[in-house]
Structure 1
């Protein structure tokens, strides 16, 4: 049973709109094909009532109504009447599974609580509803008041109850205790259908679920992305992986739809999925270390049973400072690009340098980096930007102090401009004018980032020049102005050091 729409919505800051609840319910039942969904708590709000009504109307049309469940309370007919108005047919009744909760929260004796449970179930059955029962704080009850908890189970056996649901309400159990408690109950009450409901306060929810299954529990509760009170519930994505790979249990859920459902719930809940979250996290099927990519290239040495294709995903090879040649090759194969050995070394070195600056490189960045590397001319550059200092102040024009090396000699100039790049170009022009060299005319300036906008590694600046011929140069850097300066440096080396006196001759040749 998935309880994303009930217990998951108890996550701090999460509230689904009625229309969002309906969309999630559709995905859970039709796409992921869970057996049951718990969609709300009775009496919460008018919005909650409308949300449940939307779901039950759709579910009745599809024949799913018996798979839609609502949490209710031991309150006579009040919760039952709310469920009737909402169009629901299955009541999950919340009772007290520990003597501590019973005595201090309800201030009742067991006999009084049992009588009220019986009355509420009687109202539900009279209304044609099916009933399951939660034993709230069951885990504490098994630790400290087991005689009471067992007496409640025996009493529920005398009523028309389909499932008894065992929640680790406070997320306190260790796998050893799950083994002991559920093993004993399944042995002592073999006719009872027990569900296990795990919370994740100690990050043990999935381990506890695995132990519960091994001990013979009949049903499991989960939420998408592990949403839920405090640290959340057992995440459905991890439960499915564990059931498939570590048990003999078979289920009808569609693993390949998990990621899609997970991303929709992420969007509706507003809670970002951690990048390292198992199964659905952004990084979980990404190899970063070059040695891992190399092993995968040779014989899938770093694969396990969690193949991304199972969950509608693809394996990726991260690009960063730990990338090796194998990582780069995997990404190049995906793009259909092949490089010479020396070119591959240069691209790898560039990616490692970016990673050292803690900048993230994506597959979409790779063609830009390759283009930049391939455009670099081999050998010594005739013109080189040796150093610069830029200022940008409110109310004042930006300034640049520039040091250029031309044919082995260093020259400096200071200039201001309408922007930092304009100030840079004014400084270049000062040096070239002083030395009597010509510069092309800048005709177009364009800045872009790789598709998707996910990079934080660089921007690409493309500048178009007119020097009797039209040509373009590109520069890459995380800073837009520096990228433009690199594009300009490439231009300066492309045209060479042309004296102003050659301008007339060149123009005459062009006119001919």
Structure 2
């Protein structure tokens, strides 16, 4: 089976995202995660840019990863030397080849550019290091000139050539034709690097692979300059699950990797992000949920499962929910309701939804308890005794929680970036770090400085089971604590019932 290699540039092009600058400790975490994921080549940075960048690339190169480590360099001897001194496995050199970039940036003749490229490749290879050559802005470069410069570096001994869609103007059709033509002209492996200015980075990368590209350049979560790069998860699952080709990526770590980069970059993934987003395998519509509960492939692609990418399936309660999913959720929480009561619950859920209310799992259970006449407060696993939160301009926000957990007194404490964050971490500590708060939202119910706040949370356990709940009050910290404890109580009850 044909294998497509994966070249990840999260630490180089991904870090060029406006507002992102990874410290060394973050870069090492990301590099180790990419190695765990099975990435073939990690572009660790641009060693000549700063001393810190050089140190980071050299440190990553010394980690003994299975992935090869690459450093970027302009076609300048100093840049190339710095990359080689950083002990990388591969040096990635580039120079502009499009008419507009040659005229306004390089300001050399086309013949001189070819000579520079050949000399750069020969210099790198004389040091016993692998070399990748990029014709920058390739998709706006005349095809005949591209063939000329790529053939020249191929004859000079380059290991792989990269075809970058530097400003994201290619379409899948033009990319396919370009790679097909280059593939017929060259023997050396071809790599592609696509930007997302028109939302086509993944599609263009896929088209390039269809046309014969041997390697794809991607970033985790598609981060990168301007609108970003091709997303690693989307490209990998498209060419493996849809196209049936092979990569060395261990796909079960895709969500784990996405969440790490999301946290370290500070760029939150939209819930509807394909493959790794919170809603990628979530269903609210009654028709969809009913089908998925019977056979997942009815309303999911079928070519991939949540488990394949390290995700989990969620059945969400909302105004579009149907009887089957509400009944299933109640059964998981230990409630056997009659058909008449189920009808009333479904009607109330839809009524709340029509009013614009976010319906939580706890709301459904509360409705069931009221209609069944059996409120089960005594079944709570966690009973809060006291919560103390300290904060101030010279105090690290700290929370201390006193509570009864399964009949035993417990005291936990935690620090956070703010009082709410500290309080929620302290609550999570009550039941172990396996509990994760995946969603937190707060709305003001009334106006003024004494406004009532309504907090919505989603809590998930280590098995991927989740539960949504709410809390309300003038004290946003206590409302947040109440919401999380409500969610955790029922999540633990669901775990016991299972």
CA offsets 1:115-139 (integer angstroms, 9 cap, x no match)? 2223333332333321110110000
1:201-350 to structure 2, matched below 5 A, reads 201-300=197-296, 301-305=298-302, 306-350=304-348
Tell me, what secondary structure is at the counterpart of 2:58?
A: helix
Q: In the alignment, which residue of structure 2 is the partner of 1:151?
A: 148
> What RMSD in Å do the two structures reach over aligned CA positions?
2.7
On the 8 A contact 2:281/2:314 being kept in 1, the answer is yes
Q: Which residue matches 1:103?
A: 103
> Is 1:3–2:3 an aligned residue pair?
no
**Helix, strand or coil: the match of 1:177?**
helix
Tell me the CA shift for residue 200 of structure 1.
1.1
1:171-182 matches, cutoff 5 A: 171-182=168-179
1:85-120 per-position Cα deviation (integer Å, ceiling 9, x unaligned): 323231000122323322321100122222222333
- Structure-to-structure mapping, 1:132-211, within 5 angstroms: 132-141=132-141, 145-189=142-186, 191-211=187-207
**Cα distance 1:223–1:334, how it changes in 2: closer, same or farther (>3 A)?**
farther
Deviations along 1:400-452, one digit per CA (max 9) or x if unpaired, are: xxxxxxxxxxxxxxxxxxxxxxxxxxxxxxxxxxxxxxxxxxxxxxxx99994
Structure 2: distance between partners of 1:205 and 1:131:
24
Cα deviation, 1:47-75, whole Å, max 9, x if unaligned, reads 2122212211113xx454xx110110111
TM score, norm. by length of structure 1:
0.70
Residue 456 to residue 208, structure 1, CA distance change in 2 (3 Å): same
Q: 2:50 aligns with which of 26, 45, 51?
A: 45
Per the alignment, residue 74 of structure 1 pairs with 75
What is the rounded CA distance, in whole Å, between the counterparts of 2:441 and 2:346 in structure 1?
17
2:315–2:325 contact (8 Å) kept in structure 1: yes
Secondary structure of the residue that 1:157 maps to in structure 2? helix
Q: What is the CA–CA distance in structure 2 between the aligned matches of 1:265 and 1:186, rounded to whole Å? A: 34
Kept in 2, the 8 Å contact 1:361–1:456? The answer is no
Describe the shift of the 1:159–1:459 C-alpha distance in structure 2 as closer, same or farther (beyond 3 A): closer
Structure 2: 5+ residue stretches without partners: 1-6, 376-426, 429-434, 444-453, 457-468, 475-498
Partner of 1:510: none
Q: TM-score, normalised by structure 2?
A: 0.72
- For these two proteins, the number of residue pairs brought into alignment is 386
Deviation per residue, 1:174-228 (Å, 9 max, x gap) = 1111121111111122x12110111111111222122111111111111110111
Alpha carbons of structure 1 residues 451 and 69: separation in structure 2 relative to 1, 3 Å: closer
Q: How far off is 1:258 after superposition?
A: 0.2
Distance change in 2, residues 1:5/1:248 (3 Å): same
What secondary structure, in the 3-state scheme, does the structure 1 residue paired with 2:155 have? coil
Q: Secondary structure at the match of 1:92?
A: strand
Tell which has more relative contact order, 1 or 2 (C-alpha 8 A, sep 6+): 2
Structure number with greater Rg is: 1
1:308 deviates by 1.2
Query: Counterpart in 2 of 1:429?
Result: none
1:3-42 → structure 2 map (5 Å cutoff):
3-30=9-36, 32-42=37-47
* Cα gap change, 1:355 to 1:54, in 2 (>3 Å): farther
Q: Is the 8 A contact 1:92 1:134 kept in 2?
A: yes
Q: Say if 1:362 and 1:160 are closer, same or farther in 2 by CA, change over 3 A.
A: farther
Match of residue 56 from structure 1: 61
CA distance in 1, matches of 2:336, 2:322: 16
Between the aligned partners of 1:121 and 1:139, the Cα distance in structure 2 is 22
| Native 8 Å contact 1:98 1:149 kept in 2 | no
